[in-house]
Amino acid sequence: MLALVGVAAVVAGAIQRLTGLAFILVLIGPVVLVYGPVDGVTLAVLLAVVASAIALPSAWREVDWRRALWLLGAGLVAAPFGALMPRLLPEPALLFAIAALAIVALLGPRLSVPASAVFRGRRGTIVAGAAAGFMHAASGLSGPALAAYAIAERWDQRRFAASAQVILLGYGLTSVLLRGLPAAPAWDIALLGACTAAGILCGALLVRRVPVALARAVMLWCAWIGALVVLVRAIVAVTA
């Protein structure tokens, strides 16, 4: 089962480098299946910090610091409220919540056009940042709000992908402080961290060879499978 999460970490790291987002969206299904809804999300958030830290140096020059800092600041204010969710919900409810957030994340691009007015201007920046920070601390799935904001503001894709690494790194470090370190064995964490780094490096080699559309298609297939696996586990936990 550790091998399953390792492969998912490599794929997630490569897609993170290719698209700028979706690391936890791809990883959430396998990591929750193997480590449970609380420790699995905590581990995924920690690995996402590794992914963003490795990806950031190559993206540094294209970061839009004004937008990134506003989104980051709003998210840091909301993050403590998101961190309470795993402590308040029993395991079956938490599994359902994670599956629901993953499905909303996958449907986010379809829902972003009607909601675009909410994410425009300075107020929209604060709303998007707060929503993303809350979701990241709760489940690691901060991508939908950030993606919807980028679409609403017509944010250049390259600058958005670069800025997302700063934002996700800040959210991730805050979430680790709020949630604590995962209880998984140190060997597992080290191995999965290495798999994440390998995925980022593979993505860097493939970035000029793999069409973005293909990378996004692979991301969606992996993410949908992961979300459905978590949903099935939630149903089994309720009926067992």
Other beta carbons within 10 angstroms of residue 84's beta carbon come to 13
Give the residue among 234, 196, 237 at the shortest CA–CA distance from 5.
Answer: 196
DSSP 8-state symbol, 112: T
Read off the pLDDT of residues 65-78 as tens digits, 9 standing for 90 and up.
Answer: 999 999 999 999 99
Predicted confidence band of residue 114 (pLDDT cuts 50, 70, 90): low
Predicted confidence band of residue 171 (pLDDT cuts 50, 70, 90): very high
Per the CB < 8 A criterion, the answer to whether 218 and 15 are in contact is: yes
- Over residues 219-224, the mean pLDDT reads 68
- What pLDDT is recorded for position 2? 84
Residue 19 pLDDT > 80: no
Residue-by-residue DSSP string for 53-111:
HHHHHHHGGG--HHHHHHHHHHHHHHHHHHHTHHHHS-HHHHHHHHHHHHHHHHHHHHH
Indicate the pTM of the whole model. Answer: 0.81
Residue-by-residue DSSP string for 104-136:
HHHHHHHHTTTTGGGGSHHHHHHHHHHHHHHHH
- Over residues 193-209, the mean pLDDT reads 87
- What pLDDT is recorded for position 220? 66
Residue 80 pLDDT > 90: yes
Token couple for 87: 């402590």
Taking the C-alpha atoms of residue 112 and residue 117, their distance in angstroms, rounded to an integer, is: 9
- Over residues 202-226, the mean pLDDT reads 74
Taking the C-alpha atoms of residue 81 and residue 219, their distance in angstroms, rounded to an integer, is: 29
Higher confidence at residue 184 or residue 100?
A: 184
